[in-house]
Amino acid sequence: MENKAVTTEKAYSTSEIAVMLGIAVPTARKYARQMETSGYEILKSKSNARLFVEKDIMALRYLKELREKSNVTVEQAANIVLERFDTETIQTVTPSDTPDTKQYSKQYDELKELIVHQSERMEELHKIMEKQHEYIQFRLNERDKLLMKTITERLETQKLIAAAEAEEKENEKKSFFSRLFRK
């Protein structure tokens, strides 16, 4: 017959245990799975996720030390841990052990509000950038028109100067021949 005891201990997830023990999450799962195979009972949440209490943390820490300090397999280490730790008492997690969903809900709402605010701000900045782009394009077009007008005027002026110089040379030629033949 199972002896169920209610505890108010904090329960930790596999990822939290992995951080505490300084091991990878898959390693923590492997150790927990092997301990369960050997007969050690670990609490489970309603969604069937493992929940570790202090006793479990000590057992996993001991298993880790056995693996590091001796040349035993995970299965052998789990059996040694099972002999050392009492597994008769199965603890159930009370609602106080589960994460404070109100706190997470509040944090979620705050993050959601922040994301909405940032999205609105990004939209405003996007509109400002579009206006700046339009202004820059307008100014570039105006500059290009003015530049083309200036270049055209300069070319026309150079043509007029060249035509005037050509006419002057023609006049000089005529005057030279007219002086030559008049005498």
What are the structural domain ranges in the chain?
Answer: 3-98
Two structure tokens written together for 123: 């939209």
Token code pair at residue 156: 């026309």
Instruction: Report residue 146 as tokens.
Output: 């003015």
Reduce the secondary structure of 11-47 to three states and give it as a string. CECHHHHHHHHCCCHHHHHHHHHHHHHCCCCCEECCC
| 6 CB-contact burial (10 Å; exposed 0-12 / middle 13-18 / buried 19+) | exposed
pLDDT at 127: 96
Task: Answer whether 24's CB lies under 8 Å from 56's CB.
Answer: no
Q: How far is CA 46 from the centre of its chain?
A: 31
Of 7-11, 40-44, 127-131, 166-170, minimum mean pLDDT range: 7-11
Residue pair 43/50 in contact by the 8 Å Cβ criterion: yes
Per-residue pLDDT, averaged over 91-113, amounts to: 67
Q: What integer best gives the mean pLDDT of the chain?
A: 83
pLDDT at residue number 181: 72
| 80: Cα within 13 Å, side-chain hemisphere | 16
Q: Which pLDDT band, with edges at 50, 70 and 90, does 94 fall under? A: very low
Does residue 33 have a pLDDT over 80? yes
Instruction: Look up the CATH number of domain 3-98.
Output: 1.10.1660.10
pTM of the model: 0.45
pLDDT tens across 136-176, in order? 999 999 999 999 999 999 999 999 999 999 988 888 777 76
CA-to-CA distance for 73 and 61, rounded, in angstroms? 15
